[in-house]
Chain A
Amino acid sequence: MGLIPRRGVLLFLLWAALVVAALALDGLLHALALVWVGLWLGPIGTALIVASFVYSYRKRGWIEAGAPRAFLRAHEALAWTGALLVLVHAGVHFHALLPWLAIVAMLVAVASGLVGEFLLATARERLGERGRDLLASGLGEAEIEKRLQSDSLVVRGMETWRRVHLPIAVNFGALALLHIATALVFW
């Protein structure tokens, strides 16, 4: 029981660290008179976020090589770093609504991803416990696997989260795409 809240706190800290690190980096660029660098961190951050979607390809089987878990870790790391660079790119400027909507959508998507990480870790833990219980009850491996796959609570939890996370990511993608398009039009 103690492990779950601690993990939740850690994931929240990871999200908060994103904002704090972005503010610190932005401050540093201003202090070093390198504000122009921030402009180019936007495209770089976007490229990292786009690269993070390689996990989706692996998950859907479009890429077959490599451990899915490694792809997931890469997805998390690339998305977090990309989001950090995009936040520095945004800076603390409040005027145009579209880029700010995109930033909010990105932060929501990152938060949603971290919630997914939390749910996944919890699910793994729950499956482990349940597997050990079934093993102790004397069931065979095939039966245990069958029962674990049908653990509706865990499966439903992840599916529900996925149904929410994807539209959130799509919403961010649409806003980011429009921001990029308008930035290019009004270059």
Chain B
Amino acid sequence: MRCVGRLHVLALLAAYGALVVALPEVTVSPGDMIAGHESIADQCFRCHTAFRGTPPEKCISCHEVAAIGLRFTTDAPIVRSPRKPTFHQALLEPSCTGCHSDHIGAGRPGANAVFTHALLRQEVREACVGCHADRTPDDALHRAAPSTCGSCHGFAAWTPATFDHAALGAEERTACVTCHADVRPGDLLHRQAGDGCASCHGTRAWKPATFDHAKYFRFDRHHPPEKCTTCHPTSLERYTCYGCHEHTPQGIAREHREEGITDFKDCVRCHRSAAEDAAERAGGSRSAHDD
């Protein structure tokens, strides 16, 4: 009985084995061959080596590495777009199946053909313009930037880039508007602030900005931040407190003289807010300004 069982197994293996040998493309092929390889569909061992997969030597025997991307296997030249540079000659090591699958079915042809810069030799990988010369933007930033794209851009995509202003020369680093003129706000503050963006803004982001008006004078409902020209009628670098009926030169002079204060030209030196009692705190002792 056990002998019959073994014969049964052997007979099945022999029958199915014969089917595999006779019709490999039907029984074991994971999919039809891609265009150009249809003629070798039933010659599995043209590409496969038993138990070793598809070593690159098999591919290279037809597809000479030096010619990949440049000439067909028929030796006819390949007309290429300059945006598709050849790179097979610069690979760290030949590993055709790392990117290519010649069977449709287990995966579309080229479905797993994802180019990665990690496949390239280091010196080629770092020489970005060797392949991407046509992609270098002709703007002020890129003209001023160093030639090593990798200091800002990653290998996966051009954006997002991680630009570091430290990569710029000292002169370019302070000339913010050379690159950022288009994002400069049109309000009075920024119109009059000049080109010294760095006095308020950092190089990582525009916000948060460090300009703090309260450091000079604290806003309140009678001194709102929107009405710059009330206090700064000519320039943001200059101010006057006599812009409204509350503060007339005569009234201010009288009030200060009554208290014995004679030096009251620079109001914010003592008055950092509209609060009456804030003057002492901000300006220290009144005696310093008194007669």
Q: Within residues 151 to 167 of chain A, which ones have a CB less than 8 A from any CB in chain B?
A: 166-167
> In angstroms, how far is the closest chain A Cβ from the Cβ of B289?
73
B16 near A96 (CB under 8 angstroms)? Answer: no
Instruction: Indicate whether A96 sits within 8 Å of B51 (C-beta atoms), given known contacts A167-B8, A178-B20, A182-B20.
Output: no
Partner pick for B9 among A95, A97, A173, A182, CB 8 A cutoff = A173
Smallest CB–CB gap between B158 and chain A, Å? 23
CB–CB B105/A93 < 8 A: yes
Q: A residues within 8 A CB of B44? A: 186
B49-74 interface bits toward A, Cβ cutoff 8 Å, 1 = contact, 0 = none: 01111000000000000000000000
The one of A171, A177, A186 in contact with B28, judged by C-beta atoms closer than 8 angstroms, is A186
Contacts of B23 in A (CB 8 A): 97
Q: Once the chains bind, are A182 and B8 in contact (CB under 8 Å)?
A: no
Interface residues on B, range: 20 to 34
Known A174-B9, A174-B16; 17 more pairs at CB < 8 Å: A95-B31, A95-B32, A96-B29, A97-B27, A98-B16, A98-B19, A98-B20, A98-B27, A98-B28, A166-B5, A167-B8, A174-B13, A178-B16, A178-B17, A178-B20, A186-B44, A186-B48
Which of A167, A170, A178 is most buried by chain B, counting CB atoms within 10 A of its CB?
A178
Could you tell me the distance between the alpha carbons of A178 and B27 in the complex, rounded to whole angstroms?
10
Tell whether A175 is near chain B: CB-to-CB under 8 Å: yes
Tell me whether B106 is interfacial, beta carbon within 8 Å.
Answer: yes
Give the 3 A-B CB pairs with smallest separation, nearest first: A174-B12, A95-B105, A187-B53
A78 to chain B, nearest CB (A): 21
Evaluate whether A97 and B26 lie within 8 angstroms (CB atoms) in the complex, with A170-B5, A184-B51, A187-B51 already known. Answer: yes
Q: Is residue A185 within 8 Å, beta carbon to beta carbon, of the partner chain?
A: yes
